[in-house]
Amino acid sequence: MTPERYQRIRAMLDARQTDLTICMENVHKPHNLSAIVRTCDAVGVDHVHAVWENYKDELRRGTATGSQNWVKVHNHENIQDAVAALRNSGMQILATNLSDSAVDFRQIDYTKPTAILMGQEKYGISDEALALADQDIIIPMVGMVQSLNVSVASALILYEAQRQRELAGMYQGPCKVSPEEQNRIMFEGGHPIFAKACKRKGLPIPQVDEQGQIVADDEWWAKMQMNKEAWDQLDND
Inter-helix orientation angle 179-190/3-14, to 10°: 140
Asked whether the beta carbons of 186 and 9 are under 8 A apart, the reply is yes
117 is in an annotated binding site: no
How far apart CA 10 and CA 15 sit, in angstroms, is 9
Alpha-carbon separation of residue 139 from 95, 143, 172, 184 (angstroms): 11, 12, 28, 37
148 is in an annotated binding site: yes
- Cα dihedral sign, 222-226-229-233: negative
Q: How far is CA 192 from the centre of its chain?
A: 19
96 is in an annotated binding site: yes
Asked whether the beta carbons of 48 and 23 are under 8 A apart, the reply is yes
How far apart CA 161 and CA 138 sit, in angstroms, is 14
Q: Which residues are annotated as a binding site?
A: 96, 139, 148
Q: Which residues are annotated as a binding site for S-adenosyl-L-methionine?
A: 96, 139, 148
